[in-house]
Homo-oligomer: A and B are copies of this chain.
Amino acid sequence: MPLKVRKNHSPKPPPSCPLTECMGIIGGAWTVNVIWSLRAGPRRFSELRVDIPPVSPKVLTARLRELEARGVVTREVKPTSPPSVEYALTDLGAELVPAIEAIVEVGHKLKGAPDALVANG
């Protein structure tokens, strides 16, 4: 038996790099899509699910909670029946929108074929 050492041994080397730190957030699956979806105004949980069909409720919840904890989005429960929950970008979150716009822009121009590797002399 090889003795598994838990990796939570020390509190973790600080990223100390704002780039790495921020990528730790927006790097999660569907995170940028959520922010993108919120750029035009507040949106409810189930609306986000429609905007981003492949996201599962589990992951969507996880992303929204992370973004809320980091101050990127707000969460507001409306006392309707059934209660609905609105998510919106904070000012901080709004700062990410131009970044994501640039990413989308590049996305449009990307060559889609990783197979192009083999074809070039």
* Residues of A near any B CB (own CB < 8 A): 17-23, 25-27, 32-33, 36, 65-66, 69-72, 92, 95-96, 98-112, 114, 116-117
Contact status A110-B71, CB under 8 Å = yes
Choice from B17, B71, B116 contacting A69 with Cβ under 8 Å: B116
Main secondary structure of the interface of A (DSSP, over half): helix
Chain B residues in 8 Å Cβ range of A20:
33, 107
Specify which chain B residues have a CB less than 8 angstroms from the CB of A99 in the assembled complex: 98-103, 106
Query: Are B104 and A102 in touch, CB under 8 angstroms?
Result: no
B110 and A106 form a contact (CB under 8 A): no
Least distance between A59 CB and chain B CB atoms (Å): 14
